C-alpha cells in the first residue's frame, strides 16, 4: 500500500544513529512470531460480580504483519490489549493464560518475554522500545500544557540517554516528517492542532524508538472519513518502510481490509472468526462477521446494503449458556442455545470459526450468505 496523502515534507534519513531501522535491516523473518497470546482471559471484579471481558483468547502475530481486531463496542478489544501490555487498571485482572513478546536486541538476538509475569522494571524496558500503543483519543493522551516537542523529548530522554538535545530535536523533526507534519508543529500545544494532526503526532511518538510492535486502539475513530483514510494509508506505508508489526483495533471492519493482513473478529470477549483480511471480507463465515460487514459502508468497491445487526451484545455479567451470538443470529439452530461452539479451523485455508454451522457433526447446512467460497462443511453438505 502506498501513502496517498500530500505530505508537508518527504521523510529524510538523519545521520545521528537513531534513524529507525527497516524490517529488512532488523533481519526480519516473516514467519517468526513477535507476539503470542495463549488462552488469555481477563475479568473485571471477582466473585458474584465478576465480568469475563476477555475469554480464552489465543492469537499469534508474525513480524511485520498487521493483525486487525474488530468487534462492536464492549466486545473486549481494548481490555485485551490493555491487559496483555499490563496497562489494565483495577478492577481489571488477568485470570489466565500467557502473553509472550519476542524482543530483539541491538545485536539481533531474540528473547521471549512473558508479559504476564514480567516485573514493572522488565515492562519498562519493553514498553516504547519494543511495543508501543496509540490510544483512541490523542486529546486525552497528549498533555494539554506541554508543547508537542516535549512529548518526543520525554520519550527520547528516558530511553535514549546518549542523545544530545539537538539530536533529540532532529529525531523529533524526522518523526514528524514521517507522518506528514511540519517541524513547526513541535512548538505548538495540542489544542493548536487539528484532530488528525494530533493523532499523527501520537503515531510519530509511538514510532520514536523503532518498536517491533505497534498497537493502535481505534486511532481514527474520532476523525472524519477523509482523514481516517489518509491516516490508514499513511500507516500502511510506514509499516512497509519500517517493518514493525501492528495490531489495529476498530469497530469498522471495512477499515481493516485496507490495512490488515489478518483479521480477528471479537464478540462478547471471544474470538469468533479469524482469517486473512481479504478472505474474511469477501467470504465471511461467522454470522456476526457478516453482520459487521453490513454495518459500515465499504471504503472501496461495490456498495452493499447496510442492515446492521439486530439486538444488543449480551450482558457479560450474565452471559448466555450456548453461543453468545444466538439471541441475535438469523441462522441459529436448536443446539446453539445450549452448546458453546469453540474456535476451530475450517477447511485448509488457515481460517478459524466458532460457529456450529461449520461443524460436520451438527448436520447443519451452511447458508448461501456465508458460502461464497467453498469450505469443508459447504462442500460436503451442499448449500441451502
Interacting residues with ligand SF4 (CB under 6 A): 286-287, 323, 325-326, 329, 331-333, 336, 341, 355-357
Neighbours of 255 (CB within 10 A): 23
* Residue 357 interacts with which of ligand ATP, ligand SF4, none, CB < 5 to 8 Å by class: ligand SF4
> Which of ligand SF4, ligand ATP, none does residue 265 bind (CB under 5 to 8 Å by kind)?
none
DSSP 69-104: EE--TTSSHHHHHHHHTT-PPTTEEEEEEEEEEEEE
Residue 363 near ligand ATP by CB under 6 A:
no
CB of 357 to ligand SF4, least distance (A): 5
Q: Which does 2 bind (CB under 5 to 8 A by kind): ligand SF4, ligand ATP, none?
A: none
* Distance from C-alpha of 384 to C-alpha of 378, rounded to nearest angstrom: 9
Write out the DSSP string of 108-123: --EEEEETTT--HHHH
CB of 49 to ligand ATP, least distance (A): 8
Helix, strand and coil in the chain, % to nearest 5? 35, 20, 45
Query: Taking CB under 6 A as the criterion, which residues in 87-116 touch ligand ATP?
Result: 91
Q: Which is nearer to ligand ATP, 151 or 252 (CB)?
A: 252
Burial of 214 (0-12, 13-18, 19+ CB in 10 A): buried
Q: Which does 169 bind (CB under 5 to 8 A by kind): ligand ATP, ligand SF4, none?
A: none
Query: Shortest distance, CB of residue 254 to ligand ATP, whole angstroms?
Result: 16
Handedness of CA 345, 282, 235, 137 (dihedral sign): negative
Which of these, 155, 147, 135, lies nearest to 185 by C-alpha position?
Answer: 147
Given a contact cutoff of 8 angstroms between Cβ atoms, the answer to whether 314 and 327 are in contact is yes
Q: In terms of CB distance, is 69 or 232 closer to ligand ATP?
A: 69
Q: Considering the complex, what minimum distance in angstroms separates the CB of residue 259 from ligand ATP? A: 17
Q: Which is nearer to ligand ATP, 160 or 251 (CB)?
A: 251
Binding flag, residue 77, ligand ATP (CB under 6 A): yes
Spatial contact of 35 and 266, defined as CB atoms under 8 Å apart: no
Q: How far is the CB of 92 from ligand ATP (least distance, A)?
A: 6
User: What is the tally of helices (H) and strands (E) in the chain?
Assistant: 11, 12
Kindly tell me which of 62 and 72 has the beta carbon lying closer to ligand ATP.
Answer: 72
Single out the residue of 255, 238, 248 nearest to residue 216, CA to CA.
Answer: 248
Please answer whether residues 40 and 96 qualify as being in contact, where contact means their C-beta atoms are separated by less than 8 angstroms: yes
Q: How far is the CB of 99 from ligand ATP (least distance, A)?
A: 16
Residues 47-76 that bind ligand ATP (CB under 6 A): 51, 53, 71, 73-76
Q: How far apart are CA 60 and CA 33, in angstroms?
A: 7
Looking at residue 328, the DSSP 8-state letter turns out to be G
Binding ligand ATP by CB under 6 A: which of 41, 64, 78, 85?
Answer: 78
Euclidean distance between CA atoms 190 and 157, whole angstroms: 20
Least distance between ligand ATP and beta carbon 78 (Å): 3
String marking each residue 308-347 x if it binds ligand ATP according to CB under 6 A: --------x-------------------------------
Q: Cβ of residue 50: shortest distance to ligand ATP, in angstroms? A: 9
DSSP for 215-241 reads EEESTTTTS-HHHHHHHHHHHHHHHHH
- Toward ligand SF4, which CB reaches closer, 105 or 345? 345
The 233-252 site mask, x for binding ligand ATP (CB under 6 A), equals ------------------x-
Q: How far is the CB of 243 from ligand SF4 (least distance, A)?
A: 37
How many residues touch ligand ATP under the rule CB under 6 A: the total is 14
Burial 191-213 (b: 16+ CB within 10 A, else e): eebeebbbbbbbbbbbbbbbbbb
Q: Binding partner of residue 323 among ligand SF4, ligand ATP, none, CB under 5 to 8 Å per kind? A: ligand SF4
Dihedral over alpha carbons 289, 293, 296, 297 (to 10 degrees): 170
List residues binding ligand ATP (CB under 6 A).
44, 51, 53, 71, 73-79, 91, 251, 316
Amino acid at each position: 500500500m502506498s501513502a496517498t496523502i500530500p505530505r508537508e515534507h518527504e521523510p529524510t534519513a538523519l545521520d545521528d544513529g537513531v534513524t529507525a531501522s527497516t524490517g529488512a535491516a532488523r533481519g526480519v523473518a516473516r514467519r517468526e512470531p513477535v507476539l503470542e497470546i495463549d488462552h488469555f482471559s481477563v475479568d473485571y471484579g471477582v466473585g458474584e460480580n465478576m465480568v469475563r471481558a476477555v475469554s480464552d483468547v489465543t492469537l499469534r502475530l508474525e513480524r511485520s504483519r498487521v493483525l486487525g481486531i474488530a468487534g462492536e463496542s464492549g466486545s473486549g478489544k481494548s481490555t485485551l490489549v490493555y491487559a496483555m501490555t499490563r496497562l489494565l487498571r483495577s478492577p481489571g485482572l488477568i485470570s489466565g493464560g500467557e502473553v509472550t513478546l519476542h524482543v530483539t536486541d541491538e545485536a539481533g538476538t531474540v528473547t521471549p518475554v512473558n508479559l504476564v509475569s514480567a516485573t514493572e522494571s522488565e515492562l519498562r524496558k519493553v514498553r516504547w522500545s519494543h511495543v508501543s500503543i496509540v490510544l483512541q483519543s490523542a486529546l486525552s493522551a497528549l498533555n494539554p500544557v506541554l508543547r508537542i516537542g516535549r512529548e518526543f523529548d520525554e520519550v527520547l530522554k528516558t530511553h535514549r540517554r546518549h542523545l544530545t538535545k539537538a539530536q533529540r530535536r532532529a529525531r523529533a523533526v524526522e518523526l514528524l516528517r514521517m507522518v506528514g507534519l511540519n517541524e513547526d508543529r513541535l512548538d505548538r500545544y495540542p489544542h493548536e492542532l487539528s484532530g488528525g494532526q494530533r493523532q499523527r503526532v501520537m503515531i510519530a511518538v509511538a514510532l520514536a524508538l523503532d518498536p517491533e510492535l505497534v498497537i493502535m486502539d481505534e486511532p481514527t475513530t474520532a476523525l472524519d472519513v477523509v482523514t481516517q483514510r489518509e491516516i490508514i494509508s499513511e500507516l500502511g506505508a510506514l509499516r512497509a518502510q519500517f517493518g514493525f508489526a501492528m495490531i489495529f483495533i476498530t469497530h469498522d471492519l471495512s477499515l481493516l481490509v485496507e490495512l490488515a493482513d489478518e483479521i480477528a473478529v471479537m464478540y462478547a470477549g471471544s474470538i469468533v472468526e479469524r482469517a486473512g483480511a481479504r478472505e474474511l471480507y469477501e467470504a465471511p463465515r461467522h454470522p456476526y462477521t457478516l453482520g459487521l460487514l453490513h454495518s459500515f459502508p465499504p471504503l472501496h468497491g461495490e456498495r452493499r446494503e447496510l442492515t446492521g445487526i439486530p439486538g444488543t451484545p449480551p450482558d457479560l455479567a450474565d452471559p448466555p449458556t450456548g453461543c453468545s451470538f444466538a439471541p441475535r443470529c438469523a441462522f441459529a439452530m436448536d443446539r446453539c442455545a445450549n452448546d458453546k461452539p469453540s474456535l476451530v479451523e475450517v477447511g485448509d485455508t488457515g481460517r478459524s470459526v466458532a460457529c456450529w454451522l461449520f461443524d460436520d457433526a451438527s448436520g447443519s447446512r451452511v447458508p448461501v450468505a456465508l458460502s461464497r467460497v467453498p469450505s469443508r462443511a459447504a462442500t460436503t453438505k451442499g448449500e441451502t
